[in-house]
Amino acid sequence: MSQLIVMVMDDPNKFEDILNAWLELGIAGATIFDSLGTGHFAPSESPDDLPLMPSLSDILQGRHENNRTIFSVVTDDFDIDRLAAATEAITGSFSDIDTGILFTVPVGRVWGLQPKIK
C-alpha cells in the first residue's frame, strides 16, 4: 500500500539538507509549507491559558518561529526506514526534543503518482 510520509521539522535551516536527502533516496516529488504548531505557544501563567484553536491574532502577537512541513506519497516498495535514518542523520534523533516528527499514513488509493525520472 502506498504511504503518505509527513515530516514536521523544528529547525527550518535543515530543510534543504533533508529535502536533498529525500530526493537522493528516490522521492519523486514533495509538497512543502511553513507551519506553526501549538508547542510554540508559551502559556503565560498556566497550561489552561493555551488556546485550543489559536486565532490569527494569537499567532501574530508573539514571536514564533515557523516549522517546515514536507509531505510526499511513496509506493509500497519504498524503503521508509532508510528515509527515516537519513533524516535523523540530519535532524538528530527523533527521541530528542526539538528535532521534529516524522510519520507515515497508509494511502488506500492514489492517482498521478509518477516514478522519479533518472
What confidence tens digit (pLDDT) does each residue in 23-39 have?
Answer: 999 998 899 988 877 66
Provide the pLDDT for residue 52: 58
Distance, CA of 72 to CA of 1 (rounded, Å): 14
Grid cell of 85 as nine digits: 535514518
Residue 5 has phi, psi (to 5 degrees) of -100, 130
Residue count (the chain): 118
**In 3-state terms, what secondary structure has residue 35?**
strand
Distance, CA of 94 to CA of 62 (rounded, Å): 27
Provide the pLDDT for residue 88: 96
Where exactly are the structural domains of the chain?
1-27
- 15-74 residue pLDDT tens: 999 999 999 999 988 999 888 776 655 555 455 555 555 555 555 555 456 788 999 999
pLDDT at 3 over 70: yes
pLDDT at 116 over 80: no
Pairing of strands 2-9, 67-74: antiparallel
- CB contact at 8 A, 94 and 102: yes
To the question of pTM greater than 0.85 for the whole model, the response is no
Distance, CA of 62 to CA of 98 (rounded, Å): 19
